[in-house]
A and B are shown apart, each in its own frame.
Chain A
Amino acid sequence: MTAPVYLVDDDAAVRDALSLLLSTVGVDVRTFPGPENFLSALPKLDPGCLILDIRMPAISGLKLQERLTASGVAWPTVVISGHGDIEACRKAFRNGAIDFLSKPVDEQDLIDAIQKGQMALDRTAEADAERREAVALLAGLTQREREVLSFVARGFATREIAGALGVSPRTVESHRAAIGAKLGTTSPAEMARLWIEVGNGP
């Protein structure tokens, strides 16, 4: 477990006890006494898993969830509540919560929820890394090679590309060889995947 866990609860005793429990299982916990404190600290925080109490003064856990979603922070969120209120539970899930736990929270449920959050975070991180790699690879191509790659990604054969660009099939072949060398693959499918990953729609 690498990503940090952010716990927002207005009750100091609950905050301390839960962070103690999580620290004993090796989770890096940072606590905030209220949504405002968390929001002000947010710009400097690494992506992590959120644990929100639903009933807090000023801004409720549900409101905080909505604000985070609105500002593009899609971190996995676990909502905890004093009463198992079905309406609140439904709202939490609609806002994108990955889990909803009733107080008192059992350690195993909490750890499972956090693990779910970690996995979600990992998936996001992995996707980000792949995208960054693709961008770096494509950055090495010349303008002409990029043009040829776009045709290849859309499934055109060498002869068709040559006709479209007004060059000989031979020239297209040599461009393809260069692209293959730079991207480390000669498979048109793999080329198409990289092309889409950097943000070009099919």
Chain B
Amino acid sequence: MAGKAATLREPFRKPLVRGFVWVFVCGFLLAAIAGFERWARLADLTTESERLHAIASQRVDQHDAHLTALSAIAVASQDQRPDLFLEVAGAIMRFYPRIIGISLVPLDEQGSSLDIGVRDAELGALVREAAKRSRGAPVLARYPSDRPAYLIVKRSPNSEAARYGLALVIDAAALLDGDSAFWTQTEATRWLALPDGTLLVGAADSGSSPQFTRALSSATQPLELKTAVRMTILDVFPPRRVALALALIGFSAVALRAIGRQRAKVRAAEARAELSGLETRLSHASRVNALGEMASGIAHELTQPLTAILAQAQAARRLAARGDTDRITGILDDVVEQTRRAAAILERLRTWTRPRERNAEAIDMRECIRVAGTLLAGQAAELDASLDVRVPPTPLSVVGDRVELEQVLFNLIRNALDAVAEKAAPREITVEATMEGDMAVIDVSDTGPGIRSDVRDRLFTPFMTTRENGTGLGLALSLRLVERAGGDLTLIETREGARFRINLPLVRAAREAGA
């Protein structure tokens, strides 16, 4: 049961394993692509973010310089030259568009503020409050409007005796403006927040978490810059790259299978060649062995009469030399007898009959043809030869040994197969059985090269063969076996190919002949 199950599962196992391997390789490659793409995008993000960080840091540093300059003007002019302050402030704002407002707010609430770019009632109070909070370092605050802007507020002069609060209103979005297409073309997100976490640029809940976070390198405005890049499925699996990878896998799989099949074919061919070589050697060895055994047995049998003959002849010679001729006649009789004995042994060699129980019975030759045909069907298929069997609908009963007559047909058909193998197509073998009077006639014909005229006379002689590996016993044995069954085996003249004819007496005729 287990064995059967295993053999049943076998055809399914290979495709299954192959499928697993395929899926695994595809998965591995896709993961590799995704990993690479992700890494590449993050690397891009980091590069761009660092660049942005550097620019922004540089920009915010400029604000300190502006504040210092404006503070100096405000203090120096002592409220006398508001036009100078406004002129310088206007020039700064024109030159730096991200500075959207400048406000100079007197700390005593009676004085009026100098506001440029922004007009906001709350702004004055906010700046004043911030300036009072300041202990030297500028104070940052969210600009109270829907613009993404912040305030940088400084005391002026920057001491406990400060009289003004000086503020720059800076558009945080403009702070991040740049020439890099990265931030506009991709799914990148930027956040900019005051150090206290107040968000200036970017949505609070954009769905993605920052992948790059760094405070601007400024002592006064360490704004927190955060960036992220959202990766879509198309970013992680770029269609062209994935398609290319899958095509590569597919091509490799096909190529590997082709190579594998080719190698399997070569191996199978090698195995077949080795096997056929082995068979050839084996058949040769068994033939040599059989002949050797036969020769050894015959040698021993022949030795006995030869020993007797030699001894008798030498004894007779002695007697003759002595003149004792009376006994010589008797000795010569013995010599004749022993010579006959040796001749009888040789006769047995000549007919090379083996002592075998022969079982003669009425048999249907159609059966014999069928058996021989079945035994050789595989060989015929291998040679791509057609084996056409034509038999009458009624039994062809003859008396003989079934195995022997099957062997005859086997030999004849195998010879025919060997003959057609020497020629290209069409390779046709025909076995035709007919009834002619009281005889069964079986013709075995082939479309091979035919029998050479120089071997035709010796065709049924033992050990005569035209084949390299032939024993030369097939036809000789076949003839003997057919003759035993009271028939004969002949070569029929044909224009092409070869045709052997078996004539066997049908049962009634055989009985009448007393066989």
Contacts and interface: CB of A to CB of B under 8 A. Distances in A.
Interface stretch (A15-23, A59-67, A164-172, A179-187): A15-23
Contact of A21 (B303, B305, B306, B312): B312
A103 B312 contact: no
Interface residues of A, number: 19
Nearest to A12: B308
Interface in A16-71: 16-18, 20-21, 23-25, 55
B308 A17 contact: yes
Contact of A104 (B300, B309, B315, B337): B309
A82 B300 contact: yes
A13 interface: yes
* Interface of chain B, main secondary structure: helix
A11 B304 CA distance: 7
Contacts of A17: 307-312, 315, 334, 338
A14 interface: yes
Contacts of B314: 21, 106-107
A16 B305 CA distance: 11
A104 B307 contact: yes
A105 interface: yes
B179 to A, nearest CB: 107
Contacts of A16: 308, 334
B256 interface: no
Given A24-B318, A25-B318, A103-B306, A14 B300 contact: no
Which of B314, B318, B337 has the most CB atoms of chain A within a 10 A radius of its CB? B314
A96 to B, nearest CB: 24
A82 B308 contact: no
B359 interface: no
A103 B307 contact: yes
Interface in B310-361: 310-312, 314-315, 318-319, 322, 331, 334, 337-338, 341
B220 to A, nearest CB: 117
A83 B295 CA distance: 12
A13 B305 contact: yes
A21 B307 contact: no
A84 to B, nearest CB: 10
Interface string B162-175: 00000000000000
A106 B310 contact: yes
B286 interface: no
B341 A24 contact: no
Contact of B315 (A13, A21, A55, A82): A21
Nearest to B314: A107
A24 B316 CA distance: 9
B296 interface: yes
B254 interface: no
B310 to A, nearest CB: 4
B341 A13 contact: yes
Contacts of A104: 303, 306-307, 309-311
Nearest to A10: B304
Contacts of A11: 304, 307-308
Nearest to B322: A24
11 contacts: A13-B305, A13-B308, A13-B341, A14-B304, A16-B308, A17-B315, A17-B338, A18-B308, A21-B315, A24-B319, A83-B303
Interface of B: 296, 299-300, 303-312, 314-315, 318-319, 322, 331, 334, 337-338, 341
Interface of A: 11, 13-14, 16-18, 20-21, 23-25, 55, 82-83, 103-107
Given A82-B304, A104-B311, 20 more contacts: A11-B307, A13-B308, A13-B337, A13-B341, A14-B311, A16-B308, A16-B334, A17-B309, A17-B310, A17-B315, A18-B311, A20-B312, A21-B312, A25-B318, A83-B296, A103-B307, A104-B303, A104-B307, A105-B307, A105-B311
